[in-house]
Amino acid sequence: MTAPPQRQVQQSPVQPRRRARRQEAWLAYLFLLPALLLIGVFGLFPILYSLYMSVYNWRVRQGDFVGLANYHQLLGSWGGPATFVLGLVLILTAHWLWTGAFAELSARRWWRLPAALALLGAGVAIALSWGVITTHGDAAFLQSVIVTMYYAVLSVPLQIVLALVLAALLYGKIKGQGFFRAVYFLPYVIPVVATAAVFRIIFSPRESSLANTVLGWLHFAPQQWLFDPRPLSQVLFGFQWPGVWAGPSMALATIVLFGVWTYVGYNVVIFLAGLTGIPRDLYEAAEIDGAGSIAQFFSITVPLLSPVIFYVALVGLIGTLQAFNHLYVMRVPSAQGTVDTASINIFDTFYQANNYGLAAAESFVLFFLILVLTLFQFRFFGRKVFYG
């Protein structure tokens, strides 16, 4: 730990330096050991073990090796998933062709034709594969994947837009920035079990509930909220769209509201920190040029904040795709599974049905989806980000 012994310094000047370096390396590994051991045992090893479990018939105790049977049960046999992956590859190919994979040729517009064809093929492949997967796969699990997508697609943009507007307003020359920031951030630190319990009461289907009272003030009919499995499009506009196209249920939309309430403040704090990085002179110059505050927002704030927006969108996407706690606490039987996301479904397969092998396979499918979506987000939006 300390300086090398004196005797060797006298013998040769090169040896001890190397020895000291080696000593430092050993010490560094010693420092790393507790953290890496814990992360390895409880973070990395479980992934391998989960993969191992997913190829066994495993109900509480380990059973027979079944190969990919669990995956087949979830997604049908080979055809569906393979076509789906082909669709993903085609999307990437289309993107690659479009953005000028062959720089010298990209001046010629005809390169866009194969790109468009590839994209078309991707659409067909994914649509076809979805048909195949849903007819042969596990209906409850696939439904939960759809619910997960609804949840993410509704939540992430809402959370970002609201937070961006609030942060931009807060960043103006106003008083009480600290107060508002603290208030907006508050829901994020409070235990979800407690806040979700309040939301269940505020959004109870009783006519006297707070949410329905507010609707009454605005002359709207009372709603069933968390208890309403009907699609939002039907509740609001009376549309009768079939299947997936009908969109998320009223119950899920209510949970999205809860998610927005919880996470907007977190995003506001991060956006505010990002805003401090934008030089004030830019706004002053824009003001001299006669740009209004809305023009300033769209031509200065949004582009210069784009790396932060990208980061928040990424974290938000990963977070919503694996959200569990508040969905678990806020689901009621009347919602008829329309709020059961993939993570809820995995928990049920594990905890209620005690089918550990199948649950592990489900968690891997979810993991794969999260990875793919993150990768796509990087590929398509990562480049549009302006890093100054």
Partner 1 sequence: MAEQTQGRQIQGGPVQTEELQAQLRPAATPRESYVFHWSHLPIYFFLMIGAIFALTPFLYMLTTSLMTLGETINKQWLPHQPRLGNYAQAWVQGNFDRYFVNSILISALTILGLVTTSALAAYAFARMTFPGRDALFVVLLATLMIPETVTFIPNFLMVRGGILPLPGGSWLDSLAALTVPFMANAFSIFLLRQFFARIPSELWDAAQLDGAGHLRFLVTIVVPLSRAALLTVTLLTFVASWNSFLWPLLVTFTPTWRPLTVGLWTFISEAGPETQLLMAGSVIAVVPVLIIYLLTQRQFTEGVATSGLKG
The footprint of partner 1 on residues 316-355 (CB under 8 A) is 318, 321-322, 324-325, 328-329, 342-343, 346-347, 350-351
The footprint of partner 1 on residues 188-217 (CB under 8 A) is 189-195, 197-199, 201-202, 208, 210, 213
Measured from the CB of residue 37, what is the shortest distance to partner 1 in angstroms?
8
- 370 is a contact residue toward partner 1 (CB under 8 A): yes
Instruction: Choose which of 9, 18, 38, 99 interacts with partner 1 (CB under 8 A).
Output: 38
**Residue whose CB is less far from partner 1, 51 or 153:** 51
Q: List beta partners, residue 17.
A: none
Coil, helix or strand at residue 124: helix
Measured from the CB of residue 17, what is the shortest distance to partner 1 in angstroms?
12
- 356 is a contact residue toward partner 1 (CB under 8 A): yes
Q: Rounded to whole angstroms, what are the CA distances from 383 to 147, 310, 360, 379?
A: 29, 10, 34, 7
Q: Rounded to whole angstroms, what are the CA distances from 58 to 141, 260, 349, 354?
A: 18, 38, 12, 9
Q: Contact, 388 vs 332, CB < 8 A?
A: no
Instruction: Choose which of 18, 45, 101, 354 interacts with partner 1 (CB under 8 A).
Output: 45
The footprint of partner 1 on residues 294-323 (CB under 8 A) is 308, 311, 315, 318, 321-322
- 218 is a contact residue toward partner 1 (CB under 8 A): no
Q: Classify residue 163 as exposed, middle or buried by CB count within 10 Å of its CB (0-12, 13-18, 19+).
A: buried
Q: Contact, 305 vs 271, CB < 8 A?
A: yes
Longest dimension (CA), the chain: 93
For the chain, how many residues are written?
388
The footprint of partner 1 on residues 164-193 (CB under 8 A) is 165-166, 169-170, 172-176, 178, 180-187, 189-193
- 273 is a contact residue toward partner 1 (CB under 8 A): yes
